[in-house]
Amino acid sequence: MHERGMLIVLSGPSGVGKGTVRQAMLQDDFRDFQYSVSMTTRKPRPGEKDGIDYYFRTKEQFEQEIADGQMLEYAKYVDNYYGTPLKYVNQTLDAGRDVLLEIEVKGAMQVRAKCPDGVFIFLTPPDLVALKHRLVGRGTDDIATINKRIQQAAQEIKMMENYDYAVVNDEVPLAVKRIERIIESEHLRVPRVIDKYRNMVN
């Protein structure tokens, strides 16, 4: 019988580069990740595709998923819902594949309560000035929204204590390597492998 996959949760402030780091991880040959596409009610940004970057849904559709108990986690962030469909995550873990979630901080805390054996990684900016430059450079938000995101980021960074690891995203390739080392180590932790060896000696 194969081992159940490991749930890896990557989150951090808006603009820290979660999506860029996630894409770099999935392009690396380090491990066979399955990225769990999140669902959101925000409008697609240029180049984003439904079912690849996000499942784009209306507010009414998203709230029906919540009512049906079909969300592993969800949060409302800057007037939009974000969340993770439950069924797909469980099926993938049961098949023995690692699942990578890229989600907001509030959603990660819901997952932590339901999946305490997950690996929770907080991606941080070098500092808030660098974060603001990234948000401005992205060119997708007006200055009022950017300032709102910076204030939110300061609050989210205080929640880092609820995570297992903190990784600075100063350069994407370095951040990816740090995360890969964490995952490699987590797969070797005794609580994750002990049952296999108990079966072996019995």
137 marked as part of a ligand binding site? no
107 marked as part of a ligand binding site? no
Helix (H) and strand (E) counts in the chain: 8, 9
| Rounded-to-integer distance, Cα 85 and Cα 65, Å | 8
Kindly tell me the sign of the dihedral angle through the C-alpha atoms of 122, 126, 132, 136. Answer: negative
**Sheet of 80-85: strands edge to edge?**
55-56, 39-40, 80-85, 71-77
15 marked as part of a ligand binding site? yes
83 marked as part of a ligand binding site? no
51 marked as part of a ligand binding site? no
| Rounded-to-integer distance, Cα 157 and Cα 98, Å | 26
14 marked as part of a ligand binding site? yes
What is the DSSP annotation of 142-184?
-HHHHHHHHHHHHHHHGGGGGSSEEEE-SSHHHHHHHHHHHHH
177 marked as part of a ligand binding site? no
**Residues with Cβ within 8 Å of residue 74, at least 6 apart in sequence:** 39, 62, 66, 81, 82, 83, 84, 107, 110
Can you say which residues are annotated as belonging to the binding site?
A: 12-19
Can you say which residues are annotated as belonging to the binding site for ATP?
A: 12-19
